[in-house]
A = this chain, B = another copy of it.
């Protein structure tokens, strides 16, 4: 069931240890499910209970610690030897009396890791403040170091195989976006459009199936387009409404996000103008992408366009992404925004999402791209414009 060769996983562990050495970390507790998957292949919806990989600087293979029920899942999905899979008893699950942190501390002590410099992913969604408190209490001789994004930064540059998976995700989202734009009509319920989108995202193509995206389809309509993170309801679309569709194809946990905006009926001149500004800025930003350029320079290319038209956007223009689990497909490392001096290199991947949200409407038209040796390549090919339904100008 491995998505990559064992050599690729071992290379990732090696790169992780290089960074551990640089940051003076001897033991790294990996709780971010994307990072667990990245190093070991582990893949299951079990991150709602405490679990982790333990990477030791002087040990070739990581150790998996998780719930007993999930140990067979770890055997099925990872390249780790069976004796590196250490389950904790079921009575530690969501219990006031027993906590997995105590088990973890006991294991670390048994294998002589209790007085080392231990890296913690302090901002991982699945590393709780309570786990942190109890590890500190149970491992008084350890020194703890924040290593929140250590592996995320290893993930920043993708392998060719990872890029291949992302391109497949790009094909999947193309198909789902087409379905979304076709399905949205006056009188249709939001939930029915999302049902159609989901069907395409999950069935994927004939050649490769779809996986669940780390974020559900976002589909605000009408005045709700003024804010980006509302999901859907069972209300029906009305003539004259705008609808934002932000979705991602996913394959083997690798993402290709894509956003488009639909106008049901003819949009106002102002909305038409703003959509053209967004596309102009998006094109300028994509043109600016090439190895050696910084993230903030890409944002500057966009900003120059909108400034010309008197528009201000405070939020970031985009972010690094790839492998992930809910609640976010973003990697939390490089951002296309002012002040980010990350230098672009081939095989980095971004979601470039020039969303503009005003008081009573918003527009999103986005692209996901890979940095190539000479520029960039987008992951999906879909008309880069405001989609207008019920008018002869519709292009699908």
Contacts and interface: CB of A to CB of B under 8 A. Distances in A.
Interface of A: 1, 43-48, 68-73, 76-77, 89-91, 93-95, 97, 120, 122-133, 146, 148, 189-192, 194-196, 198-204, 208-212, 215-216, 218, 223-224, 226-234, 314-316, 319, 326-328, 330, 332, 335, 337, 339, 357, 359
Given A44-B230, A47-B327, A123-B128, 11 more contacts: A48-B330, A68-B314, A69-B315, A97-B339, A125-B126, A129-B131, A195-B210, A198-B199, A198-B202, A208-B234, A211-B231
Nearest to A226: B72
A31 to B, nearest CB: 10
Contacts of A202: 191, 194-195, 198
B189 A209 contact: yes
A191 B128 CA distance: 32
Contacts of A194: 202
Contacts of A232: 209, 211
A122 B126 contact: no
Nearest to A74: B227
B76 A223 contact: yes
A327 B216 contact: no
Can you list the 5 inter-chain pairs with the closest CB atoms, starting with the nearest? A209-B234, A191-B209, A72-B227, A195-B203, A48-B328
A73 B230 contact: yes
Contacts of A191: 202-204, 209-211
Number of copies: 2
B330 A218 contact: no
Contacts of A132: 129, 132-133
A192 B122 CA distance: 38
16 contacts: A45-B218, A68-B314, A70-B227, A73-B224, A76-B227, A89-B314, A91-B314, A122-B129, A123-B128, A125-B126, A129-B131, A190-B209, A191-B204, A192-B209, A195-B199, A211-B231
Contacts of A337: 91
Nearest to A73: B227
B94 A335 contact: yes
A328 B122 CA distance: 21
A62 B358 CA distance: 26
A357 B69 contact: yes
Contacts of A45: 215-216, 218, 229-231, 327
Contact of A130 (B123, B195, B357): B123
Contacts of A315: 68-69, 90, 93
Contacts of A1: 233
Given A45-B216, A195-B198, A327-B326, A332 B128 contact: no
